[in-house]
Structures are given as structure tokens and as C-alpha cells.
Chain A
Amino acid sequence: DGGITQSPKYLFRKEGQNVTLSCEQNLNHDAMYWYRQDPGQGLRLIYYSQIVNDFQKGDIAEGYSVSREKKESFPLTVTSAQKNPTAFYLCASSYPPWTGRDEAFFGQGTRLTVV
């Protein structure tokens, strides 16, 4: 089955450590996204990537980094510079605009807790 997979589902880290969240898709989508969700809040865009080896900052990119070395993969690193890293992180992917295929597909999320 095609889909978008985030791992792990739950992640615990000590304060000051960098941590990398995995996002893999086999939908052959070009665009991929990372969102952050805090309790009772909507989703806020961290980074997005239109194509391999290219990515742009979203609204809250400070303290995060990404890479896009393969079309299928868009890992997110939460660095020690992120002041409040504890949150629910969601990855999404979509077809490029010229395909006429419209919706974004979301993974099931990774809940990161920093202690």
C-alpha cells in the first residue's frame, strides 16, 4: 500500500540533544512538508521541500533543520537551539501543482518529549 510513514511514534530525548525524526513516502510525491502541533493548537509549518536537494523555511523554522537527499525521504532534525521542542510533529506530502492532483497526505505523527 502507498503511504507516508513517520517513525518512531513516540520519542523521548534529554534536553540539549539533537534528535532526528524520520518521514518516508512511497507515493512518488515531489513535495514534502513538516508541521508542528502543540496541544489544542493548529498545525504550524516548519519546512517544506518541492524537489530533491531543495527546501524552504516555513513559519517556525528556527531550531530545526532538514535534508532532502532522496525523493522518498524528508528527515527533520530538532536541534538543541529549539527552545520548546516537545510537540507532535506531522509530515505530509503532495503532488506538484502541475499534476492537477490536489490534496496533501499526512503521516500519523511523531510525539517528541524532551525531558
Chain B
Amino acid sequence: DAKTTQPPSMDCAEGRAANLPCNHSTISGNEYVYWYRQIHSQGPQYIIHGLKNNETNEMASLIITEDRKSSTLILPHATLRDTAVYYCIVRVRTSGTYKYIFGTGTRLKVLA
């Protein structure tokens, strides 16, 4: 299964853009990249996903490189409430359904 690699931690000043990188060099052509975040001791919250095109929604933007081996999640104006662990995930099709393969995540701390 494809694996993801993320830096363990990052800091970002409040109001600035937070750019969270992810490497997924073994990803297959039909496997999507997902981003979730987890605030302490809660269930992960969906942020955004993409296959090969850049994506944007009300929460974030996702930039995927042309070779699909890496991606970057962008929180355009980080707030203190964005402090969380961010997971870059590969969704793998298997046995008629999906598996979501989690990495170890990046702990983002937004500083006042």
C-alpha cells in the first residue's frame, strides 16, 4: 500500500498561510490523496481530497505535483483553532471498497 511521509511538526503565525507538505512517492494512478485533521482526542475531520488536479474548498487548498509524488495542503489564513495534527492519507481501492492509509501526521501549532 502507498505510504505517506510528513514532517512531524510545524509552527505558523496566526493570519499567515500554513503550507503542510506530504510525500507519497509510491502512490498509484487511481489512488486519491486525502487530508484530515485531528484536534486532541477527537475523531479526524475531513478537509479536502484530490487525484491530480489542484483543489480548493472553504477550508483549504490542495496542490498536487504533476508527477503526483507529493502534495501540499494550504490553510490560507491560519487561526488558533487550526492548531491540530494534520494527516495526509492515501485512499486505496481494495475488495470492492476503500482503505484509508494514514501516516503519522504533522502537528501544526498556530502561534498568536
Which positions in A face B, CB cutoff 8 Å?
4, 30-31, 33, 35, 41-45, 48, 50-51, 56, 58, 88, 90, 92, 94, 96-97, 102-109, 111
- Counting CB contacts under 8 A, is B29 at the interface? no
* B-side interface size class: 20 to 34
Which positions in B face A, CB cutoff 8 Å?
32, 34, 36, 41-46, 49, 87, 91, 93-105
Contact across chains for A96 and B96 when beta carbons are under 8 A apart: yes
Total contacts A-B at CB 8 Å: 63
Which residues of chain A are within 8 angstroms of B97 by Cβ–Cβ distance? Answer: 30-31, 48, 50, 94, 96-97
Per the bound structure, the CA–CA distance linking A27 and B78 in Å amounts to 31
Which residues of chain A are within 8 angstroms of B93 by Cβ–Cβ distance? Answer: 97
Please give me the residue from chain A that is nearest to B88 by CB atom.
A42
Q: Which 9 A-B pairs have the closest CB atoms?
A: A106-B43, A50-B97, A43-B102, A42-B102, A103-B46, A42-B104, A31-B97, A108-B43, A106-B44
Per the bound structure, the CA–CA distance linking A102 and B96 in Å amounts to 14
Which residues of chain A are within 8 angstroms of B32 by Cβ–Cβ distance? Answer: 102
A-B contact pairs, 19 of them (CB 8 A): A33-B99, A33-B100, A42-B103, A45-B99, A45-B101, A48-B97, A50-B96, A51-B96, A56-B94, A90-B44, A96-B97, A97-B93, A97-B98, A102-B32, A104-B98, A104-B100, A106-B43, A108-B42, A111-B41
Which residues of chain A are within 8 angstroms of B91 by Cβ–Cβ distance? Answer: 102
Contact across chains for A104 and B87 when beta carbons are under 8 A apart: no
Which residues of chain B are within 8 angstroms of A103 by Cβ–Cβ distance? Answer: 34, 46, 49
Per the bound structure, the CA–CA distance linking A45 and B32 in Å amounts to 17
Please give me the residue from chain B that is nearest to A91 by CB atom.
B43
B93 CB to closest chain A CB (Å) equals 6
Contact across chains for B49 and A42 when beta carbons are under 8 A apart: no
Per the bound structure, the CA–CA distance linking A28 and B41 in Å amounts to 26
Please give me the residue from chain B that is nearest to A32 by CB atom.
B97
Which residues of chain A are within 8 angstroms of B43 by Cβ–Cβ distance? Answer: 4, 90, 92, 106-109
